[in-house]
Amino acid sequence: MRRIVILGGGYAGLHAFSVLRSRLGSLVARGEVELTLVSRDGHHTYHGWTGEVLAGDLAVGSTLTPIGPIVGDSFVEGEVVSADLPGRTLTVQSAGAMRELKFEHLVIAAGSVDPFDRIPGLAENGWCVKNSRDMQKLVGELESRDASAQETRNVVVVGGGLAGVETASALAARYGRAGSAKVNVHLVSSSEKLLPSLRPDFDHIAETAERQLVSQGVQIHQGVRVSRIDRDHVELANGRTVASDLSVVAAGVSFSVLPGTESLPRNAAGQIIASDDLRVRGSHNIWVAGDIAAVPHPGTGEPCPANALFAMKQGDCVGRNISRAIKGQSVKGFNFRGLGQAAGLAGRRGITELWGMQFTGRLAWVIRVLFFAWFMPSRRGALSVLSHLSGNLWGAAAGPVAGTRAAPGAERPAAVPNLSGPFR
């Protein structure tokens, strides 16, 4: 039997599984191929609705899709504790017991984690939005504060990218309509300008987002890093402190190293280095996709962005290539170049770049919502979200919208999506 094991139930892992099941279905049915997907979480987390959830417009359950119904009997909910790559064996802790999984092909799609190792005090005093469990805890904290009328006077959001801007706008909207005393929302960015991934080609939408934050009363601190998060304040690298009752980090990621995989080649950031066919460099049966993968971009040769849409497309590529390898066919290189970037803002507004065109306001929000719904792992989940937001969608479509603007010199193939925040 040919055994294929996928580590991770995120975007890359689910897409790889779906393609493999589709292309190798007859071999699986005859017992010639066995597919297994291992994830420590029973749900896939869709980060596209983070802003709506934090603002209180969607329930946190809208971001969660059960993996079991998608994967079926091939799903193992558990934690991979070690790998024996030469022996082609994984040790998994599942349902309170240890078990071994054999593999012929291994797909490492374990994603990334929040940067707990780089921001002192984050684990003890901060909140994160990337991991599904952390996101649920943060929403629970927000709802608890709302219910108990617990005083929140200062909120600090760390991160000047799409995720940080969306988070700051959402929290400002949440507290702005709470009817309580004024809440000061601060956004701390290490970059000299907000949204560096949009500049300089898409300055128009970047500046639109910044103006939106200012109009919401968000206080922006640019060009400075956070050196520590304490219980009631955040320390900045320039020596200043910012009072904070709630500190949320939406910036940067780290990569865990599974014991037994230390020999795999990694870049300075900690990502596993892949060849253009998505095999780990120097390996013929170990594949990598998603955030944890340093995959050469087909246009620039630099590592692809660590975000959701690239993870999905890399998962598709891995699935196709493993099926080709099993059938004795030649594998192909990763050739996805990107689509665009987007972030939701308060008031059913947003910013969107799609194939070099820039959209702002309500039209950008509508485009973003429809785009995100299309890429959700469950059609039922997508329809549920669209049904919930349909009043907002049609109201937005009927209202005034900002125009579009083509970026000077922007080329369609060069548009690269940033899904690590709003699209992640």
Residue with the bigger pLDDT between 15 and 57: it is 15
Phi, psi of 3 (to 5 degrees): -105, 130
Q: What is the pLDDT of residue 408?
A: 40
Residue 370 parent element (H or E): helix 361-374
Q: What is the pLDDT of residue 399?
A: 44
Beta bridge partners of residue 296, listed in sequence order: 303
Confidence class for position 103, pLDDT limits 50, 70, 90:
very high
Work out whether the CA dihedral 35, 39, 44, 47 comes out positive or negative: negative
pLDDT at residue 18 greater than cutoff 80: yes
Q: Report the 10 Å Cβ neighbour count for 11.
A: 30
pLDDT at residue 269 greater than cutoff 50: yes
> Which whole number is the average pLDDT over 19-25?
97
Question: What is the C-alpha separation between 190 and 226, in angstroms, rounded?
Answer: 8
360, 204 contact by CB (below 8 A): yes
pTM value is 0.86
Q: Which residues neighbour 391 within 8 Å (Cβ) at sequence distance 6 or greater? A: none
Give the tens place of pLDDT for each residue, 342-383: 999 998 999 999 989 999 999 999 999 998 999 888 888 889
Question: What is the C-alpha separation between 43 and 234, in angstroms, rounded?
Answer: 32
pLDDT at residue 396 greater than cutoff 80: no
Question: What is the C-alpha separation between 334 and 321, in angstroms, rounded?
Answer: 10
Question: What is the C-alpha separation between 421 and 126, in angstroms, rounded?
Answer: 18
Q: What is the DSSP letter of 194?
A: S
Residue 53 parent element (H or E): helix 50-55
Q: How far is CA 212 from CA 54, 345, 380, in A?
A: 17, 8, 33
> Which whole number is the average pLDDT over 331-335?
97
Confidence class for position 178, pLDDT limits 50, 70, 90:
low
Class of domain 122-249: alpha beta
> Which whole number is the average pLDDT over 72-79?
96
Q: What is the DSSP letter of 207?
A: H
Domains 2-40+78-112+255-326 and 122-249 share a fold: yes
82, 261 contact by CB (below 8 A): no
Query: 2-40+78-112+255-326 maps to which CATH number?
Result: 3.50.50.60
Give the tens place of pLDDT for each residue, 128-145: 988 777 888 999 999 888
Q: What is the DSSP letter of 305?
A: P
Q: What is the pLDDT of residue 413?
A: 29
Confidence class for position 405, pLDDT limits 50, 70, 90:
very low
Work out whether the CA dihedral 362, 366, 371, 376 comes out positive or negative: positive
Q: Tokens for 365, please give them.
A: 């929000």
**Minimum mean pLDDT range among 311-315, 334-338, 417-421:** 417-421
Q: pLDDT > 90: what percent of the chain?
A: 68
Q: How far apart are the first and last CA of the chain?
A: 35
> Which whole number is the average pLDDT over 221-227?
96
Question: What is the C-alpha separation between 27 and 34, in angstroms, rounded?
Answer: 8
Q: What is the pLDDT of residue 388?
A: 84
Choose among 193, 183, 197, 170: nearest CA to 346: 170
Give the tens place of pLDDT for each residue, 152-167: 899 999 999 999 999 9
Cβ burial, residue 66 (10 Å; 0-12/13-18/19+): middle
pLDDT at residue 296 greater than cutoff 60: yes
225, 237 contact by CB (below 8 A): yes
Question: What is the C-alpha separation between 216 and 210, in angstroms, rounded?
Answer: 10
Beta bridge partners of residue 80, listed in sequence order: 92
> Which whole number is the average pLDDT over 318-323?
98
Q: What is the pLDDT of residue 150?
A: 73
- The ranges assigned to domains in the chain are 2-40+78-112+255-326, 122-249, 340-414
Q: Where are the beta strands (DSSP E) in 282-367?
A: 286-288, 293-294, 340-345, 349-354, 357-360
Q: What is the pLDDT of residue 116?
A: 78
Beta bridge partners of residue 236, listed in sequence order: 226
